[in-house]
Chains A and B, each alone.
Chain A
């Protein structure tokens, strides 16, 4: 069974203090790994898809990386508006396979 574990569960940073969120996964052949951002009272907002180990993607202060067992979401010099819950999800290869989500990391950036 596919599994996704995110850590830490919550993270509090000072504005400008860079850090990383971790997503460890177990999947029978990775089709894709997804990162989403979710603000309170809203649905998840798509950020990145990574397909193979070694791949990296960037968007503003966010950078996602992928290995064969985990993905990191690096946040450089965060701002208060980066405060949100970040969700990681994986999809297995082969036919139709559902997307399995982690429980998320709740990030709070203090001014």
Chain B
């Protein structure tokens, strides 16, 4: 158990569906992250939140919409996705985004398949 919990673990959705991914961290951290992991590619940073404020939006298409209601919870709302969006979506948290406090701890991920 890493202290970062993601649900669901697996998700299959059609291109017209709307779904949400959930992440919860139990580590008392102030920063949370969404990453996309595709085969043979490095982890791609999507969004960063620090104390519930978005500090990074890495040119992600608008069909991905993040929400951070508090420092323990992070959501990724999905709508009208494309087949190329199929990937492992990872949530991470760190104590802060500042110097010496950016060790990121990851959840187990949500394996998303878009049909």
Contacts and interface: CB of A to CB of B under 8 A. Distances in A.
Nearest to B96: A96
A31 B99 contact: yes
Given A43-B2, A98-B48, A103 B42 contact: yes
Contacts of A100: 42
Interface residues of B, number: 28
A45 B42 contact: no
B102 A31 contact: yes
12 contacts: A31-B99, A41-B108, A42-B109, A43-B2, A44-B106, A46-B103, A93-B99, A96-B55, A96-B56, A98-B56, A98-B58, A103-B40
Interface of A: 4, 31-32, 34, 36, 41-46, 49, 51, 87, 89, 91, 93, 96, 98-104
